[in-house]
Amino acid sequence: MIDQYELDPVRRKKTIRSLVGYAKQVKRSIFLGLALLFLAVGAELAGPYIAKIIIDEHIVAIERDWVQVESDGSVSFNGDTYEKETRLDGQDGQDVVRPVSIVQTTDGYYLVNETVMSGGVREVENDVLTISRGEETATYDEIVPLSSSDVFKFYQTDLRAVLMLSGLYVILLLLAAGLNWGQQMLLQRSAHKIVKTMRLDVMKHLQTIPVRYFDQTPIGKIVSRVTNDTETIRDLYLGVLARVFQSVVMMIGVLIAMFFLDVRLGLVSLIIIPIVIVWIKLFQRFSTKNNFRVRALVADMNAQLNESIQTMPIIQSYVRENLVYDEFNEKNSDNFQTRRKLLKLDALMSHNLVNFFRNMALALLIWFVGAQTLGVGSVLTLGILYAYIDYVSRIFEPVTQIMNQLSPLQQALVSADRMFQLLDEKGERVSSDRIPRFKGEVVFDDVTFSYEAGKPVLQQIELHAAPGETIALVGHTGSGKSSIMNLLMRFYDPSVGVLRIDGMDVTKLPTQAVRDHLGIVLQDPFLFTGTIRTNVTLGDETITDEQVWKALTAVGADRFVKQLPQGIDEPVIERGASLSSGERQLISFARALVFDPAILVLDEATASVDSETEALIQDALKTLTYGRTTFVIAHRLSTIREADQILVLDHGRIIERGNHQSLIEYGGVYARMHELQSKQQAIS
C-alpha cells in the first residue's frame, strides 16, 4: 500500500528548521562560499557596464566633444590639430579655434566644422549633410569626407583606453571563474559533510529504535529512507540550494546594475519579482502532491524488491513470478505516469515560459525606446541599450535556474520530511553505564503484555528461574513463547507486571547494560558478511584468536573450521549461505559462548537440523548452557528432557509447569504432545 500523506505547513517549517540545523554545522564553509559567490556575481555583472563605457565613452563618442585647437592636438588632419573637449578640462595654454563634429552616415564618416544635431537620420547629397529627426531638419555644407586611415587617427586616441578596459573585462571574467570554482568547492564539500553526518545520525538512531518499529515497517522502506532519501537531500544542498542562492544573488545584482544604468529601466525590471513569486506559488501548488507520490512509490518498489529477493525460492517454487512481476509493474507504471506529469509541468513552467517573458521584456524595451534615434540626447545611449539587453538576458538565466530547481526542491523537502520522521521515532537512550554480571535469577511477576492495545498475547505470567536453571517453553504456535523471549531480551517491556533479574526491575536499568549479560541463539542463525572470526567476535577486538578457537572447540565447531582452507579467516558470504545449517548454528553457539552471557536464550535452536546434526548440537548445548540460566523454546520435546522447569503455554497463559517426568505423570497437554512426537519418531 502506497504511503499517502502531505507536507502540511507546520511539518514543512519543522523540516526546513531541521535542514537549517544541519547546515549550521558547516556554517563557516557555507558563509565563505556565499561570500565568494557574491564576489563572483559582482565580477560577472561588472562586464556589461565596462562594455557600456567602451561603447559610449570610446566607440560611439567619436561623434562628439571634438574641437579644433591651435596646436598640440592629439589628432592631425589636413594641417589642423584636433582634441576631445573633455581632455582640455584643467589644461592651460590650449586655445580652441572652434568646435567640430564627426558624423557617421551610410556613405562613411565626415568631419563637420560645427556642432551638429544629435541622432536623427543622416544623408549626404552634393556635399551637403542633412540630418532629420522627427519634424526637425538641419543642413551642413562645411563637411570633409574621412578615409579609413583618417577615422583610425580619431579612434586611436581611445585605443589605449579600450584595450585597458577590455583587459580589465578579461581579468574580471577570470576572477569570476576562480571565485565560482572556490564557492562550488566549498558548497559541495559542505553538502557532502552534511549528508555524511545525516546518514550517520540515521544509522545511529536506527539502532536505538525499539524492535516494534521494525516489526511494523517494511525493511525496503527503511532502506529507501536511509539511501535514496538522503541522496536526494544531498542534491538539495549540493545543487538546489547552491543554484538557487546563486540565482537569487544574480537577480539582485542585475536589478541593482539596471538601476545604476538607468532608473527608468530598473523600475521596469522590477516587474520580474512578482512574476517569479506567482510563478513559484503556482508550481508548488501543482507539483507537491505528485512529488509526494513519487517518493512514496519509490519506497514501495524498494520494499517489494527487498521482499521478492528474500523470498525468491518461494516465488519460484510456487511459480508466482508473473504475479510478483505484475505487482511491481503496476507500481512502476504508476511511478512513470506520475513522473510524466511532473515533466510536463517542468516543461511548461521553466524554459518555454522563461523565453516568453524574456521576449516580452525585450519587446517592452523596444516600446519604451520607441522609434527615436539612438545618440546624444536620445532616450537611451547605445552603450546603455547594449548593457540593458545583456542584463535582461542574464536576469532570466537565474529565473530559469530557479524554476528548474523547484521540482528537485519539492522532492528534497519530501525526502527530508520522510527521513526526519524516521529520526523523530522515539528511540531508547544509549547509556554507557554498565552493571556487574548477573547471577541469573529471573522473575516474571504477574506479567501481561500486548503488541496492540486490547489484544494481550501474554496474561498473568508467573515465572521464577534460579541462577543456572534451564527453563523450557513449549506450546502451539501463537501460545506466547517468543513473546516471553522478547520481554527477556528487552525488545519490548511488560504492559502490566514486573520483570526482574537478580531482584532488579529491568525497565529501570539501561537496555544496553541488561543485554551485556544476555545471549541469544536463533532458529535460523544470521551470519554476517566477513569471516568465521568476525562472526564469532562480532568485531570485538578484545577477543583473541585463542578465545575464538576455545569457543569453537567447546561447541564442536572446530572439526569443520579446521578443514576450511583459511580456518577462522575463511570468508563468509551474506547469511552464511556457503555453510550448512548445522555449521551456521555451531558458529552462533560459539558466538554466544565467547561473550560469556549470564542468561542465555535458545529460540528453537535445533528445529531446522537433521537428527545427526541435532545430536552434535545437543553436545554443544551442554557446554553452552553450563553454569548459565537458560531459556529454551523447543518444538522437539526430546531436547528438553533435562530442563529444570518446563512451562506449557496456551493462548498466552501458563497451563502446566514442572519437569519432564512430573508432566508425563500428570498426563496433560505436555504428555499428549510427547506421546504424539514419540509415535512420529517411531514411524520415521
Which CATH number characterizes residue 206's domain? 1.20.1560.10
pLDDT of 645 reads: 93
Residue 120: pLDDT above 50? Answer: yes
Which residues, at least 6 apart from 39, have a Cβ–Cβ distance to it below 8 Å?
179
* Whole-number pLDDT of residue 484: 92
CATH value at residue 570: 3.40.50.300
Distances 613 to 249, 473, 581, 605, 639 between C-alpha atoms, Å:
72, 22, 9, 11, 13
**Same structural domain for residues 303 and 378?**
yes
pLDDT at position 505? 93
Does the pLDDT of residue 288 top 70, yes or no?
Answer: no
Cα–Cα distance for residue pair 253/582, rounded to 1 Å: 72
Residue 606 maps to a domain:
yes
Highest mean pLDDT among 229-238, 299-308, 399-408, 442-451: 442-451
> Same domain, yes or no, for 407 and 534?
no
Higher-scoring residue by pLDDT: 625, 549: 549
Pairwise CA distance, residues 641 & 618, whole Å: 12
What's the pLDDT score for residue 575? 67
Q: Confidence band (pLDDT; 50, 70, 90) for 1?
A: very low
Q: What angle, rounded to 10 degrees, do the helices at 27-53 and 9-24 form?
A: 90
Is the domain of 383 the same as that of 475? no
Lowest mean pLDDT among 377-391, 409-423, 451-465, 596-610: 377-391
- Please tell me the distance from the alpha carbon of residue 353 to that of residue 363, in angstroms, as a whole number: 15
**Residue 683, class by beta-carbon neighbours within 10 Å (0-12 exposed, 13-18 middle, 19+ buried)?**
exposed
Which range marks the domain in which residue 321 is found?
9-55+160-424
Q: How far apart are CA 129 and CA 122, in angstroms?
A: 7
Kindly give the residue spans of alpha helices, DSSP state H, lying in 54-94.
Answer: none
Q: Provide the grid cell at 503.
A: 531482584
All three cell numbers of 304, joined, read: 517489494
Residue 333 located in a structural domain: yes
Q: What is the pLDDT of residues 534-548, one digit of tens each?
A: 888 888 888 888 988
What pTM was estimated for this model as a whole?
0.65
Say whether both 475 and 398 belong to one domain. Answer: no
Domain assignment of residue 204, yes or no: yes
Is the pLDDT higher at 238 or at 6?
238
Confidence of residue 526 (pLDDT cuts 50, 70, 90): confident
575 with 658, same domain?
Answer: yes
Asked whether residue 472 falls in the same domain as residue 409, the answer is: no
- Give me the number of domains the chain comprises: 2
Place 94 in a pLDDT band, splitting at 50, 70 and 90: low
Q: What is the pLDDT of residue 364?
A: 66
The number of C-alpha atoms within 13 Å of 660 and in the hemisphere containing its C-beta is: 13
Query: Rounded distance, CA 499 to CA 101, Å?
Result: 105
Q: What is the pLDDT of residues 434-479, one digit of tens each?
A: 788 899 999 999 999 998 888 899 999 999 999 999 999 998 888 8
Pair 390, 521 in one domain? no
Query: Which pLDDT belongs to residue 431?
Result: 67
Domain membership of residue 488 (yes or no) is: no
Q: Indicate if 539 and 650 belong to the same structural domain.
A: yes
> Between 356 and 528, whose confidence is greater?
528
Q: Which residue has the cell 596646436?
A: 71
**Average of pLDDT values for 306-325?**
75
Question: Quick one: pLDDT at residue 349?
Answer: 61
Tell me: pLDDT of 377 over 60: no
Name which residue leads in pLDDT, 273 or 112: 112
**How confident is the model at residue 461, as a pLDDT?**
92
* Pair (319, 174) in one structural domain: yes
- Is residue 639 within 8 A of residue 609, CB to CB? The reply is no
- Is there a domain that residue 185 lies in? yes
541 inside domain: yes
Question: In this predicted structure, what is the pLDDT of residue 234?
Answer: 80
Task: Judge whether 133 lies within some domain.
Answer: no
Specify whether 304 is located in the same domain as 245: yes
C-alpha cell at 71: 596646436
What are the backbone angles phi and psi of residue 327, rounded to the nearest 5°?
A: -65, -45
Q: Exposed (0-12), middle (13-18) or buried (19+): which is 444, by Cβ within 10 Å?
A: buried
* Residue 147 domain flag: no
Q: Which residue bears the cell 513449549?
A: 474
pLDDT tens digits, 58-86: 777 677 778 888 777 778 888 788 887 77
The pLDDT, as a whole number, for residue 647 is: 94
Task: Say what the pLDDT of residue 2 is.
Answer: 43
Instruction: Assess whether 580 and 656 both reside in one domain.
Output: yes
Question: Are 419 and 528 found together in one domain?
Answer: no
